[in-house]
Amino acid sequence: MTPGAVQQSGLSLRFAGAAKSYGDVEALKPTDLTIAAGEFLTLLGPSGSGKTTLLNLAAGYQEPSAGRIFIGARDVTHLPARHRNIGMVFQNYALFPHMSVVDNVAYGLKVRRLARSEIARRVEAVLRLVHLEGYGQRGVQQLSGGQQQRVALARALVIEPDVLLMDEPLGALDKQLRRSVQLELRRLHEEHRRTTIYVTHDQEEALVLSDRVAVMRDGRIEQVGSAGDLYDRPVNAFVAGFIGESNLLPARVTAIAGGQAQAEVDVLGRSLTAAVAPGLQPGQPAALLIRPEHVLVGEEPGVTAEVAEIVYLGELTALNLRLESGATLWARRITSHDLRRGTRVTIGWKQEHARIVPT
C-alpha cells in the first residue's frame, strides 16, 4: 500500500457519563468508557443491551440525554455526524446498487470535494488494502456477500476516519465466510491500528477481533477487558455465561479471605475453596464457575456422576454429567470411546480453575 494512503491510527474516543433515554426507558445508563487511539474494542451483548445505542451516540446519529462524548480532545457531544470524520460499516452494507465498486468507494471523497487525482489514488490504495484490486469497474450486485462487505469497509476507510464504527457487519454472511472476513478484519487492524468500535452479539467474533471487549446488559457495561480477562476472571455469572461455555452451580459463600472464598455447594454435597470475584460478600447470591474443559473425568477422589449424554464434536467430545443431586454439568475432553451413556464416573477439577461469582 502507498505510504500515507490510509491513516495509520485514529483518535481516542471517550464517553463521560453518556446516557440515553426515550421517555421513561433508559436505553443506556450513565456510561464512562475510553477507547484508546488505535484500539479495537467490541461491544458484546444480547439484543436490547444498549450496544447499538452507544455506537449511535459515537457516530452522532443520536445525541445523549446526559453526559459528554469526546473524539481526541474535541467535545463532539452536539456535533452532527457529518462533521465527526467517522467511518461507518453496517450489517446491510448500505451500498449504492446502481454504482460501480469504484464509485461506491469514492462517494465520500467526492462529497468532500477532493481533487480527482487524490480520489483515484486513495481508492486504488484502499481497494488493494481489502484485496479487491481489479474489481473497481464491476457493479456491486455482481459481487458476493463477502466482497460487498469489503466494498463497504473500503468506503469507510478511504475517508481516513478518526474512528471506525461497525454495527454487526458480518451478520448477513454464512458461517464459513464470516470466519474468513473476521481474519481479514483482524489483519487490517493489526497492520494499521485504526481506532475501532465493533458491535456484535457473537462471542466468537468478539474474541477473535478485539483488543478489549465490553460486555453489556440492560443498558450498562458489566465488564471491560481482554478476552483472557473475561474468560478466566469474569466479574459475575452473566459475563461468565456470555463468554464461552460455563458450568454455574449455586453456591453459598460462608467466608472470604485473601481473594479466596469458602462456599457450600449443595448440588455437590460439599464445601470447597475457590478464587472469588471482586466485591462478592458472604451471604450474597453466588455460583461456582467451572469451564467444561477444566472438568476432569476419572479423577480420584472426586464427585460421583453418571454420563447422561455424549456429544461428538470431532477432535473433542462433550459429556453431559448428571450428579447424584440431579444437577448436571458439562465436561469437554479429547475424543476417546471409553465411555457410554449410563457409565458411572468420578469427576473433579483443579482448585485454580474454580471461581465463585455473584449471580
The secondary structure of 97-146 as a DSSP string is: TTSBHHHHHHHHHHHTT--HHHHHHHHHHHHHHTT-TT-TTSBGGGS-HH
Query: What is residue 182's predicted lDDT score, i.e. its pLDDT?
Result: 86
Asked if the model's pLDDT at residue 81 lies above 70, the reply is yes
* pLDDT classification of 336: cutoffs 50, 70, 90: confident
Query: What is residue 6's predicted lDDT score, i.e. its pLDDT?
Result: 42
Report the SS3 class of residue 320: strand
Mean pLDDT of 319-331: 96
Report the SS3 class of residue 260: strand
**Considering only CA atoms, which of 210, 100, 84 is closest in space to residue 154?**
100
pTM, rounded to two decimals: 0.87
Name, in order, each residue with C-beta under 8 angstroms of 179's C-beta and a sequence gap of 6 or more.
Answer: none
- Give percent of the chain above pLDDT 70: 97
Rg (CA), the chain: 24
Mean pLDDT of the chain: 91
pLDDT tens readout for residues 94-142:
889 999 999 999 998 998 989 999 999 999 999 988 889 989 999 999 9
* pLDDT classification of 2: cutoffs 50, 70, 90: very low
Report the SS3 class of residue 297: strand
* pLDDT classification of 4: cutoffs 50, 70, 90: very low
Residue 349 CA to residue 328 CA, distance in Å, equals 15
Asked if the model's pLDDT at residue 324 lies above 70, the reply is yes
Residue 94 CA to residue 114 CA, distance in Å, equals 22
* Phi/psi at 165 (5° precision): -115, 135
Query: What is residue 5's predicted lDDT score, i.e. its pLDDT?
Result: 44
Mean pLDDT of 326-331: 96
Asked if the model's pLDDT at residue 212 lies above 90, the reply is yes
* Ranges 18-27, 174-183, 197-206, 251-260: which has the least confidence: 174-183
* pLDDT classification of 1: cutoffs 50, 70, 90: very low
Query: What is residue 294's predicted lDDT score, i.e. its pLDDT?
Result: 96
Residue 100 CA to residue 65 CA, distance in Å, equals 40
Mean pLDDT of 231-240: 96
**Considering only CA atoms, which of 97, 181, 106 is closest in space to residue 140?**
97
Q: What domains does the chain contain, in order, with CATH numbers?
A: 13-232 (3.40.50.300), 245-358 (2.40.50.140)
Residue 246 CA to residue 231 CA, distance in Å, equals 10
* Ranges 64-68, 144-148, 168-172: which has the least confidence: 168-172
Mean pLDDT of 212-221: 97
- Give percent of the chain above pLDDT 90: 74
Asked if the model's pLDDT at residue 193 lies above 50, the reply is yes
Asked if the model's pLDDT at residue 187 lies above 50, the reply is yes
